[in-house]
Amino acid sequence: MKSSLDISFGAISDALHSFNFPEIDLVLGISEGGKAPAAMIAHQLGVTLKLINFGNKNDQGKFSLTTSEIDQIVEWDFFGHHRILIVDDVSVTGKTLQFIKDNVKADDVYTLVLLGEADYVLFPKVKSKVSLPWDID
């Protein structure tokens, strides 16, 4: 059985400190996996943090949205925040992040993940299975 690569809080923190972020005034963390990295980024940049729950995995491991979640997204308007960074830990295809990005009302909206597909990827060279500090075995 192939073991996973452990990525520690320290490694994430070090990578965030050397990352060249776009100018933003709000970090939007996607629960559950995006909570920790979003909080770290918001703290480091001294900007507002908002966390949202988004979708649930179905029996096939794919995310599905309820009608109320879709309605909520369409009405998102982060008053006074014009540059938003959407953060999650892992995004396999980037489709969920793109959906959120397309429906957030702001002048500039970017996506960032630790691993996978987004506008910005913190660990772009890592392609193997990973274990993040907040993963529960």
Q: Where are the domains of the chain?
A: 5-131
CA distance 131 to 125: 15
CA distance 7 to 3: 13
CA distance 72 to 36: 23
**Contacts with 13 (C-beta within 8 Å, 6 or more apart), sequence order:** 40
pLDDT digits (tens, 9 = 90+) for 114-129: 999 999 999 999 988 8
pLDDT digits (tens, 9 = 90+) for 63-107: 556 666 555 555 566 667 889 999 999 998 888 888 888 888 888
Q: What is the CATH number of domain 5-131?
A: 3.40.50.2020
Bridge partners, 121 (sequence order)? 113
DSSP 71: H
Residue 37 CB: number of other CB atoms within 10 A? 26
Q: What is the mean pLDDT of the chain?
A: 84
